[in-house]
Amino acid sequence: MQNCQRGNGRPKPFRLLDLPPKILLRIIPLIDIFELALATRKTRRVLKSLKIPVDHFIIQHLEGKHGFSFGIEGGTAVSWYFVDVPQVKDPKDFMSFFSIEGIDFPTRTKNQKECFDHCNGYDNVSIYNSSKHKSGYRPFRETFNVADITKRSKGQQYHNVRYTPITMSGAALPKCWTPNVPDDYQTCLDCFIRFVEVVFKCGVTGYHMDIKSVPNFGKFFTKNVIKNSCRTFELSGVRPQEDSPLTMEAYDIDWVLTNTPINTKLTINCDRIAGNFKLEVKTLFDAFKTEKCDMKRRMDNYEPTPLHILSDWYDGTVYPNARDIHRRDGMTATIVVHNECFIFVVWHKKSHKH
């Protein structure tokens, strides 16, 4: 039997990636596959060769937060968000470190027990530094600490550098901090999008956002949803105040409904709709084969409908938008549009009792 212990009595590490592909594919859904892919070049190469089916890769812009959700078929989903350094309350909690395309991502992961209680519901959070955009502005102060020669261990550096952000009352940056962090959330997203495309052979499958979380929603929607097809698009309302319901303008809903491609699954999530929908009567009638309304119809011959209540609906000056539709089952229906009212009735003849 092969000895599975080292000379010092400790067991050898289990070489997970040396397992056959079929067995590895059964184990992968049970582990954090995304962190595994970020670990080393070897893990990326192995995962790339397995051709793992991806369930979703959704970009999220919600309530001013930006990130993504990634999941494989049969596995757990991973959420990842990006925040600016000045918005971080305690930077030293960002103890993990990942690097993609030469860009560094100090990260607070869900596996850190000391950070579990205040992760705000997000699995992983990485920080970026937007102050790079400001010319001549240095938000961090470098402090050089010289080591005591009498207490310095052999091989230890003579000094170390500590970065202290000026805008956070002297709170220390994480030990894994480097000046080579991204300068905005879009750069972060672009790096991870390219990473997923290379390792998992999958592009963005959808978006989940609200209108105010991007600078220009119309431009964003046109570029990413209309011109570049995606499977899903979910639009959420915004909260005018912290305790307000999710609110969305009727105009915005109408615009999204009109411009969403037919092969994209659209979800609208809101508690309150502000304003009124503008009904385009001509567009509505063009969708059906309509004809002039039969004004000679005797309403007493039909079962009661909402039009029986409107005694003057036959008047062409009051309700000019009235059209008849002949259905395939032989029944006749009438559409009446007046201001914000839309009335659709099917004419059922009264049954005569003998």
Could you give the CA distance from residue 190 to residue 331 in angstroms, rounded to a whole number? 56
State residue 10's pLDDT score: 66
Whether pLDDT at 283 is above 70: no
Which burial class, exposed, middle or buried, applies to 37 when counting CB atoms under 10 A from its CB (0-12, 13-18, 19+)?
Answer: buried
* Residue-averaged pLDDT of the chain: 77
186 against 158, higher pLDDT: 186
Longest dimension (CA), the chain: 117
Q: What does the alpha-carbon distance between residue 272 and residue 246 come to, in Å, rounded to a whole number?
A: 6
What is the secondary structure of 118-178 as a DSSP string? Answer: GSTT-SEEEEE-GGGGSTT---EEEEEEEPPTTTPPTT--SEEEEEEEGGGTTPPPPTT--
The angle formed by the CA atoms of residues 314, 315 and 316, to the nearest 5 degrees, is 105
Average pLDDT of the residues in 73-102: 83
Confidence of residue 155 (pLDDT cuts 50, 70, 90): low
pLDDT band with cut points at 50, 70 and 90 for residue 188: very high
The beta strand positions in the chain, using DSSP E, are 54-62, 65-72, 77-84, 96-100, 103-108, 124-128, 140-146, 159-165, 206-210, 232-236, 247-249, 265-269, 272-274, 290-292, 321-326, 332-338, 341-346
This prediction's pTM: 0.66
Tell me how far apart the alpha carbons of residues 270 and 245 are, in angstroms, rounded to a whole number: 8
When pLDDT is cut at 50, 70 and 90, the band that residue 119 belongs to is very low
pLDDT above 50: residue 168:
no
| pLDDT tens figures, 11-60 | 666 566 666 666 666 666 656 778 888 888 888 888 888 888 889 999 99
At 352, phi and psi to the nearest 5? -85, 125
- Of 22-31, 45-54, 202-211, 267-276, least confident by mean pLDDT is 22-31
Q: Which of 174-178, 212-216, 255-259 has the lowest mean pLDDT?
A: 174-178
> Which single residue is written with the structure tokens 């709709």?
273
Residue predicted with more confidence, 76 or 199: 199
